[in-house]
Amino acid sequence: MSEKYIKDKFLYEGKAKKLYTIKGSKDLLIQEFKDDATAFNALKKGTIENKGIINNEITAYIFNFLKKNGIKTHFVEKISDSEMVVKRLKIILIEVVVRNIAAGSLLKKTNFTEGKVLKDPIVEFYYKDDALGDPLINDSHALAMGIATESDMKTLKKMAEAINSLLKPFFKKRHLKLVDFKLEFGKDSKGKIMLGDEITPDTCRLWDDKTNEKLDKDRFRFDLGKVNESYVEVKKRICI
């Protein structure tokens, strides 16, 4: 671990990551990636070998790419195998999902069959609330609950679309189809909205562009085997 950042206090443990404060810094945190994996609103639990290390490396690579392309993110730098320094954000309690190809829960609210390529991306907002099971919401729910302003919602949608426009060709070049992915955003100390969390096979559906083989957390969700191997393969293709 870099000498610049000295881990101070444990702050928060999520399903796949832990957060720590940094000695002498108010605006930065250490984000540590775990091997723990959960699915179906944490009804299914397990671990994926080396996931923490792999996802830290993938997130660092992708967030660097996004930063270079003008997307504001919380990423500062990777400081160890499973840790990165990030800006401290006040998380907006909305998960933004972008879909390019029909899969997962979309099949339950449309008549699309899995694999249907969407003419235009679908952007969805989910209310981050485990007790409610992260329900789909729309702008007017978010406003009514006071979890985001109208301008925040517009920014989330715009940024999600911009990130999708950058990531689709990024993955295509790496022989992966970006089927769908989940983003989380937060506000820094000045109220500026930026991308937080991670972008990994935990939060994206990624299919091999020739065989449509699933190379993401669906292998864990549905016991498809070769879970760790798929994460390794994705890392290899991404971090070139």
Per CB under 8 A, residues contacting its own copies are 108-112, 118-125, 127, 129, 132, 135-138, 140-141, 143-145
Q: DSSP of 172-233, one letter per residue? A: HHTTEEEEEEEEEEEE-TT--EEE-S--STTTEEEEETTT--B-STHHHHTT-S-HHHHHHH
> Min. distance of Cβ 136 from its own copies in angstroms?
6
Closest listed residue to residue 239, CA positions, set 104, 78, 116, 12: 78
114: phi then psi, degrees, rounded to nearest 5: -55, 130
- Smaller CB separation from its own copies, 13 or 129: 129
* Cβ contact 106:13 at 8 Å: no
List C-alpha distances in Å: 101 to 92, 120, 165, 168, 184.
26, 10, 14, 11, 20
> Min. distance of Cβ 118 from its own copies in angstroms?
5
- Smaller CB separation from its own copies, 63 or 126: 126
> Min. distance of Cβ 205 from its own copies in angstroms?
16
> Min. distance of Cβ 129 from its own copies in angstroms?
7
> Min. distance of Cβ 124 from its own copies in angstroms?
6
- Smaller CB separation from its own copies, 19 or 162: 162
- Smaller CB separation from its own copies, 61 or 127: 127
- Smaller CB separation from its own copies, 23 or 108: 108
